[in-house]
Structure 1
Amino acid sequence: MDGHSVSKRRSLSSIYHFIKLSLKGSNEDFTQGSIRRAVFMLAIPMILEMVMESVFAVVDIFFVGRLGADAAATVGLTESVLTLIYSVAIGLSMAATAMVARRVGEKNPEGASKAGMQAIVLALAFTLVISIVGVVYAAEILQLVGAPASVLAIGVPYARIMFGGCVVIIMLFLINGIFRGAGDASIAMRSLWIANIFNIILCPIMIYGIGNFEGFGLTGAAIATTIGRGTGVLYQLFHLFKGNRILKMKISYLLPDWSIQKSLLNISSTATLQFLVASASWIFLARIVASFGSTAIAGYTIALRIIMFFLLPAWGLSNAAATLTGQNLGANQPERAEASVWKTAQYNVIFMSVVTIIFLFWAAPIVSLINTDAGVVRIATQALRVVSLGYIAYGVGMVLMNAFNGAGDTRTPTWINLCGFWAFQIPLAYILAKTLQLGPLGVFLAIIIAESAITVVTYFIFRRGKWKLVKI
């Protein structure tokens, strides 16, 4: 065997060992050593975590879809309401990640543990209110989002279980944010693996039954999802209180600490608004596209789902930037924090460049795997090709946004999103699509123009460095 072959085998063995180590997880100190290693040690499990989160929606709609249009509509309408709960969960998760990462960087594991527990207390108080309202007014909530009588006839029990069990949704998001802040992304990843395994096994059983067990129909999907997520939360709690990692939880940390909770509320409130602003803007863009007919909105919807699927690795990388920023600021190493952000952005640019090439040359075949209608394929292909032209800028932008969040400065990206999406992107989309009569193409052009402009603004604000001075 020649030297080149030996070197290649060693390199592959080293990569395999590195991936295995990142998936296993360990008490690593990300405030020193190789930044490249730190990025990938965090990013690999974070990427897989996000893939697992997306599997929930796919599994549910796959099994429920066989029950008919009304059952599928129930899931869709309930999810539209749960999106508001997701936004709160993500906001709390961002706050927990930022505060726990800061304490870990300060080499204050007790403070990190206490911050994590206070975030849980805050989330439980919020969830109690939401769950009661959801259980009592499930039918009224479905009516509010436009559910017809046929959906109400079968969907209220499903919605009641999903709203009542939102505690497991929020806890799954939140506790994973705590683990990410501690740099223990492997636990976050495995909790979603476990949740998905239970959901995949239980969904068909609870819906259709097995043997003499007849199943619960649509309601069974809610039961399976809630049990699946709940099992993931139990796994999280086991490792939180096990005490063999950086975080060592104590029951005494559950006593309310108003100073910590105030800080968490300040960060999470703007983080929640940040997510809502961005999400709601896509709804308005969809309304503009929908005005050009069902073919246009079908193509846009398919393109958007394909885009989100391919963006998952990029989101994983940007989450790594949040953890590294928080921990290095806590260690009083702002320059290393900034270097970590630029290194992460560099890798994201490489990945997004590859995705851009894929969409430019193979958009049509990818879309055709999902839908073969010529009109739908044409619109979706056009959307993928046009939007992909802004992917490199978007990849940098999401890293910088998460760096702000990791530093505890959730206000800056919230204001950038508010101005960029609502004051610029939506009006521009309307002008290009309607006034200049470019149709759906106008919306797609507005997306890349606005996203690129947002990244440029974010870049210059980030370079000013005020995020390095944020205290939490």
Structure 2
Amino acid sequence: MANENVELMRGAPEIAVKKLAIPIMISMLLTASYNIIDGIFVAGLGQAAIAGIGFVTPIFMILNGVSVGLGSGATSSISRFVGAKNHEGANKSATHALLIFLIASIILTIIFLFIQEPLLRTYGASGQSLAEGLKYGSPLFLGLFTFMFANGGSGILRGEGDMKRAMYAVIVSVILNTCLDPIFIYTLGMGSAGASLATIVSSAGSAIVIMYWILIKKDTWVHVELKNFKFDSNIAKDILKVGIPASMDMFMMSLAVSLYLIFISTIGGEFGIAAFTSGQRLYLFAIMPLTSIGSAVAAVAGSAYGARNGDYLSRTHIYGAKFGIAFGTAVTIILIAFAPQLATIFAYTPETAPLVPEITQFLRIASLCLPLTGAGMCSSFLYQGIGKGTISLMWTIIREVIFTVSATYILGIVLGWGLVGIWTGLAIGRITASILNFTFARFTIKKIRENFGT
């Protein structure tokens, strides 16, 4: 099976992107359901709990983003070795990736346990919402290693084109989370802490399954041999030159979300934060299909780049962008049409019911960016695939920090449009940046093709 996956990545890019994107899509939608499931159960704890978890979201984005980013570094490195038909290089890359996951999880856990409370206060958390945020956040930070090996291990599997087993591991995790959430939150009376503990135990299940395949069963295409391990700085740099910028992608998005929270807290207080947090859960869930298409583009583009095939590289990008636009359009229509019903998922109690109109408004405005975000996202993942993670990071900064933060501030604060201005700024900023990103990607591919002579 693993060899078939490798041959798929070396074949026609349109077929490869489509076949690889579907299992990634299922995996990411299931992963995103963590937030949905947590949100449904936490909603029963009241508005303060919803807001408290919302304040933790940008911090958790950083931590989870590092695990996903380092996994992307492994995917890029391994897929380029696949394209170059260098099996030994791919094996070394996978082994070094595991070491990097371990070191990163230890360092980040220590750092964030110390800085979580000052960060939450900076975002505007206080009183009960601060207490709920700390209850939810502390277990997540202690369990960071589970996310690191689950997401990082998935990156290793994606690098060799084995998307299905990465999906199976996620299925195990989501089933566990769904079963454990009500038990930990309500039956055991752990509240917000129970939601995060259920997520950690579930993520650990996913990590254990993946590490079993790689380290014990040893039936993956890459072979990890820890006994004879010799550190190679060049291999580590190859992973980190994509992994660090990809991790910083999430940091920059988290920074942007932090600023949104400050703007929203200033305008709408706890009500605005709770509405944004609930709507953002659905937005992040909706964007998962676009992210999965981008992940498939990264793997296939890496293989094409490693094989120095400029034609396949260009076709990968164009097909991925078309695929993303189509999916983004379909998702936008669904969100707009069913916004009130979707909003009710997170506001089903008498206390939270007043949130429904604002969540509905958020979904109907903010989701308008999704079609073009599909093209922009494929462009960002293309850079990761070809080993140019810094360019991908640059476009994240342009999209989220420069364009979108500016648009939300101007419309929401300066022009006084309130929460509607924030929601509108989210859409306008992302649409503008995505158009520019796609255009720059085509220019980049043109230069690569000239260099390759294909």
TM-score interval, normalised by the smaller of the two chains: 0.7 to 0.9
Map 1:50-69 onto structure 2 (within 5 A).
Answer: 50-60=28-38, 62=40
Q: Distance in 2 between matches of 1:66 and 1:298?
A: 13
Q: How far has the Cα of 1:435 moved from its partner?
A: 3.1
Q: Which residue of 1 aligns with 2:140?
A: 162
Q: Which residue of 2 aligns with 1:145?
A: 120
The correspondence for 2:172, drawn from 181, 194, 204, is 194
Change (3 A) 1:142 1:292: closer
Q: Distance in 2 between matches of 1:283 and 1:414?
A: 18
What stretches of structure 1 of length at least 5 have no aligned partner? 1-20
TM-score, normalization by structure 2: 0.84
- Cα contact 1:105–1:329 (8 A) shared by 2: yes
Q: Distance in 2 between matches of 1:70 and 1:374?
A: 14
Q: Which residue of 2 aligns with 1:336?
A: 312
- Cα contact 2:39–2:50 (8 A) shared by 1: yes
- Cα contact 1:25–1:187 (8 A) shared by 2: no
Q: Which residue of 1 aligns with 2:330?
A: 354
Q: Which residue of 1 aligns with 2:19?
A: 41
Map 1:38-437 onto structure 2 (within 5 A).
Answer: 38-60=16-38, 62=40, 80-132=58-110, 141-142=116-117, 145-146=120-121, 161-205=139-183, 223-241=197-215, 242-252=217-227, 254-294=229-269, 296-368=272-344, 370-371=346-347, 376-437=355-416
What stretches of structure 2 of length at least 5 have no aligned partner? none
The code of the aligned residue for 1:320 comes to: A
Q: Distance in 2 between matches of 1:166 and 1:51?
A: 21
Cα distance per residue 1:68-104 (max 9 Å; x no partner) = 7887777666655433221221221121111011111
- Which segment drifts farther, 436-445 or 214-223? 214-223
Q: How far has the Cα of 1:42 moved from its partner?
A: 0.8
Q: Distance in 1 between matches of 2:167 and 2:429?
A: 32
The code of the aligned residue for 1:293 comes to: G
- Cα contact 2:36–2:281 (8 A) shared by 1: no
Q: How far has the Cα of 1:128 moved from its partner?
A: 2.3
Change (3 A) 1:301 1:81: closer
SS at match of 2:387: coil
- Cα contact 2:83–2:304 (8 A) shared by 1: yes
Q: Which residue of 2 aligns with 1:18?
A: none
- Which segment drifts farther, 408-417 or 74-83? 74-83
Q: Distance in 2 between matches of 1:94 and 1:38?
A: 18
- Cα contact 1:25–1:184 (8 A) shared by 2: no
Q: Distance in 1 between matches of 2:287 and 2:273?
A: 21
- Cα contact 1:286–1:297 (8 A) shared by 2: yes
Q: Distance in 2 between matches of 1:86 and 1:329?
A: 28
Cα distance per residue 1:142-186 (max 9 Å; x no partner) = 465347687898997875543333111111111111111111111
- Which segment drifts farther, 102-111 or 428-437? 428-437
Change (3 A) 1:40 1:155: closer
Q: Distance in 2 between matches of 1:218 and 1:376?
A: 20
- Cα contact 2:14–2:315 (8 A) shared by 1: no
- Cα contact 1:61–1:72 (8 A) shared by 2: yes
Change (3 A) 1:271 1:380: same
Q: Which residue of 2 aligns with 1:9?
A: none
Cα distance per residue 1:182-215 (max 9 Å; x no partner) = 1111111111111223333444555666xxxx78
Q: How far has the Cα of 1:454 moved from its partner?
A: 1.1
Q: Distance in 1 between matches of 2:242 and 2:374?
A: 24
The code of the aligned residue for 2:149 comes to: M
Q: Distance in 2 between matches of 1:413 and 1:338?
A: 17
Change (3 A) 1:442 1:132: closer
The code of the aligned residue for 2:297 comes to: A
Q: Distance in 2 between matches of 1:340 and 1:380?
A: 36
Q: How far has the Cα of 1:341 moved from its partner?
A: 1.6
The code of the aligned residue for 2:248 comes to: L
SS at match of 1:256: coil
- Cα contact 2:61–2:254 (8 A) shared by 1: no
- Cα contact 1:77–1:142 (8 A) shared by 2: no
Look at both structures and tell me which one has the larger radius of gyration over its CA atoms: 1
The code of the aligned residue for 2:252 comes to: V
Change (3 A) 1:274 1:339: same
TM-score, normalization by structure 1: 0.81
SS at match of 1:244: coil
- What percentage of residue pairs aligned between the two structures are identical? 25
Change (3 A) 1:31 1:160: closer
Quick one: higher RCO (CA 8 Å, sep 6+), 1 or 2?
2
- Cα contact 1:30–1:327 (8 A) shared by 2: no
Q: Distance in 2 between matches of 1:378 and 1:219?
A: 28
- Which segment drifts farther, 419-428 or 309-318? 419-428
Q: Which residue of 1 aligns with 2:438?
A: 459
Q: Distance in 2 between matches of 1:396 and 1:101?
A: 22
Q: How far has the Cα of 1:115 moved from its partner?
A: 0.4
Q: How far has the Cα of 1:324 moved from its partner?
A: 0.8
The code of the aligned residue for 2:309 comes to: Q
Change (3 A) 1:87 1:311: closer
Q: Distance in 2 between matches of 1:362 and 1:162?
A: 32
Count of aligned residue pairs for this structure pair: 442
